[in-house]
Structure 1
């Protein structure tokens, strides 16, 4: 009886220890989440949205430890223009001049490391893949009440998106498009 009691207690300790350090996968609600982009040029800027195809966070003891997100590049839309101008800009952004969505319909972000900064804020390091080119990226992410927010600045020239870039072409003048574009991310899980 004593042996069975000790075995049962030992098994309980092992199970509780395992549960205490279990990694949990939290799926992103892609319908309630949104990603807004802003691209700037010498003469102004454009804004729009892009949708997630899928995504999840890995949590351990209520702390962020990883995650992976697939972005649907075909969903790229412009929100500051209308009519023919809107259609032209969206078509150009989806073309080979920019993101080549026919050949590269998705982009991907994989979180590779995370450091807590306190109060639900994390410093995140990840690998971002656009047009089958993967580069490291860092950003801060805030998590509270099953919502995660982040602002990212991405240098498009690192992903072979060169159109209108002053880094690659001379004498563009007021037709220069800045290399960095910004993403404002609001994820619900």
Structure 2
């Protein structure tokens, strides 16, 4: 097993905590600039609907990868399952599946609607902001955070996908047409 520097010393813990500022600041900024219109109903545009469906399907796939296929490709490209997994490994696998399931459900349900309250757009934005934080530490700052000192190559493709979704979500967040209440 490698060295989990970011967890085993105070400087590493501080560096890890600092990365949490990125998604937190992103979501807070979006909240702040739209705080007076968060309850406004906005149309779910075709581009937003497609992005939500792609995102939801990607996460449905991830549920099965983490819960059922963790010891199979493509996950084995990122590392190995411990020879003797313990309850922490098992718990993290189950929690990963749970988070992907909940996100896929929310994204999928949003995609079925013709309009949603603007505040609900913060849900996919929060996910992509956190995902991009992870992409940064997995692909760029891996020398600081990776226990084996290598990037997670598979996550470069994930980063490109998430960047595309982020662009659609940001555009929609700021330009979605309002819907009059009936």
TM-score (norm 2): 0.26
Higher relative contact order, chain-length normalized (CA < 8 Å, sep 6+): 2
Structure with more strand by fraction: 1
Quick check: which has more Rg, 1 or 2?
1
Structure with more helix by fraction: 2
TM-score (norm 1): 0.25
